Amino acid sequence: MTGRVFSVKRFAVHDGDGVRTTVFLKGCPLRCKWCHNPEGLEGTPQLALYAQKCISCGLCAAACPNGAQSISPRGVDRERCEACGKCAAVCPEKALELFGEEMDTDALLPKLLEDRDFYEESGGGVTLSGGECLLQADFCAELLKKLKASGVRTAVDTCGCVPWRSFEKVLPYTDVFLYDVKAIDEQTHIRCTGRSNKLILENLQKLRTCGAQVEVRIPYVPDFTDREIPAIGAFLQKLGGIRAVRVLPYHNYAGSKYEALGMENTLPDRLPTSEEIAAAEQMMRDHGLTVIPS
């Protein structure tokens, strides 16, 4: 079975316990204003142009079957580009990059097992992320099953905005869910992400009911999610059984990605202060929750 992957990151240390390899899958149902992986939003392949790397050699224009490439400041003609990747394959300076490769679980598994010694020594493993990896639930289930059969601990990083049946497919093979909670107030969630949070909160409750291990991740974005911190703490306290909580400080490092992909940059201007993050973490502790420091 194949899935559409846009990155495989080795030696990741922020995607679950220990040293991990994280597989990022294409497609996401949300459109968070602060998304730091815009290359994962669309389910289809996307071509990125890093103009500062371009040396105007013309190889891309010669390779493109649709005339979408040009040796000029206009760069990629997005209307003509079909993201076939032929231009990226010949670019000598890596100024072009294709995000979205069909990968088979049998071919991917050996790559993920290369660092098994590091997983075992650190208590790490493999994390599936995105985008929203559970939009490709069948692929995730097959890959996770093979990882578990190989003795590797697994994690699923999810926004939760998928049908419950998607969770049911991966539950038997997932050691821990890294679950995003962005807001409790529905209108705030819609303003921040474009979608309601009802399904997200329902799925979180179901995960706890069936005894799944859950680490909740709360993006702290000034003027967007910051006022939701008290309500999130109260909700999680009432829910009970949450393994740990991590407050994720918003950063704007992804600005260059939006430009390279020809996408509108929606990243907020204001970054959180260390004092704001510390206060948010303390509020979680005040609600009886275990906090993993950022």
CATH architecture of the domain covering 46-99? 2-Layer Sandwich (3.30)
Q: How many angstroms separate the CA atoms of 168 and 112, rounded?
A: 23
CA-based nearest residue to 47, from 91, 98, 92: 98
pTM here is 0.95
For residue range 194-234, list pLDDT tens digits in order.
999 999 999 999 999 999 999 999 999 999 999 999 999 99
Which part of the chain has CATH 3.20.20.70? 2-43+100-286
- CATH 3.30.70.20 domain position(s) in the chain: 46-99
Please report, rounded to a whole number, the percentage of residues in the chain having pLDDT higher than 90. 92
Give 32-90 pLDDT, tens digit per residue: 999 999 999 999 999 999 989 999 899 999 999 998 887 665 678 888 999 999 999 99
- Which superfamily is assigned to 2-43+100-286 in CATH? Aldolase class I (3.20.20.70)
Q: What is each CA distance from 260 to 32, 167, 187, in whole angstroms?
A: 19, 33, 31
Kindly tell me the burial class for residue 38, based on how many C-beta atoms sit within 10 Å of its own C-beta (0-12, 13-18, 19 or more).
buried
Q: How far is CA 88 from the centre of its chain?
A: 23
Q: Which residue has the tokens 């190989």?
A: 150
